[in-house]
């Protein structure tokens, strides 16, 4: 039981909790699935990491040749690329931003 002069505000925010944020997040997460990927990606999870990375990139809207190159290059952080695209960054610009530093 919460005791406060703002109990209604506290109760409302506590009542929402994780479930509301989770529902909101899940609705955003399904947006990539609706954009469509190749038929190969839709048949189930790929068995190897490179194919899995390629499917995620294609689902996010990366052109196929770029997705192939990025899937093969493990120096690129896939999650950083996808996050940038989720924020509205064009795929080509996301690649430039998230490019690994050259070897010293």
Q: How many domains does the chain have?
A: 1
pLDDT tens, 26-64? 444 434 443 445 555 767 766 799 999 999 999 999 999
Predicted local confidence at residue 101, as pLDDT: 85
Q: Is residue 67 part of a domain?
A: yes
DSSP one-letter string for the chain: ---STTHHHHHHHHHHHHHHHHHHHHHHHTHHHHH---HHHHTS--SSHHHHHHHHHHHTT--HHHHHHHHH-TTS-HHHHHHHHHTT--HHHHHHHHPPPPP-
Q: Is residue 57 part of a domain?
A: yes
Predicted local confidence at residue 35, as pLDDT: 46
Would you place residue 104 in the very low, low, confident or very high pLDDT band (cuts 50, 70, 90)? low
Predicted local confidence at residue 47, as pLDDT: 78
Q: Is residue 56 part of a domain?
A: yes
pLDDT tens, 59-84? 999 999 999 999 999 999 999 999 99
Q: Is residue 79 part of a domain?
A: yes
Q: Is residue 66 part of a domain?
A: yes
For the entire predicted model, the pTM comes to 0.59
Q: Is residue 46 part of a domain?
A: yes
- State which residues form the domain around 73: 41-104
Q: Is residue 45 part of a domain?
A: yes
Q: Is residue 16 part of a domain?
A: no
């Amino acid at each position: 039981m919460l005791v406060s002069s703002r109990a209604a505000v506290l109760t409302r925010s506590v009542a929402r909790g994780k479930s509301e944020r989770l529902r909101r997040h899940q609705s955003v997460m399904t947006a990539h699935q609706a954009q469509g990927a190749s038929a190969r990606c839709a048949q189930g999870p790929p068995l190897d990491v490179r194919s899995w990375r390629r499917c995620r990139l294609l689902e996010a809207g990366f052109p196929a040749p770029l997705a192939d190159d990025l899937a093969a290059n493990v120096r690129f952080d896939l999650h950083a690329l996808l996050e940038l695209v989720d924020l509205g960054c064009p795929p080509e610009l996301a690649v430039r931003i998230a490019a690994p530093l050259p070897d010293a």
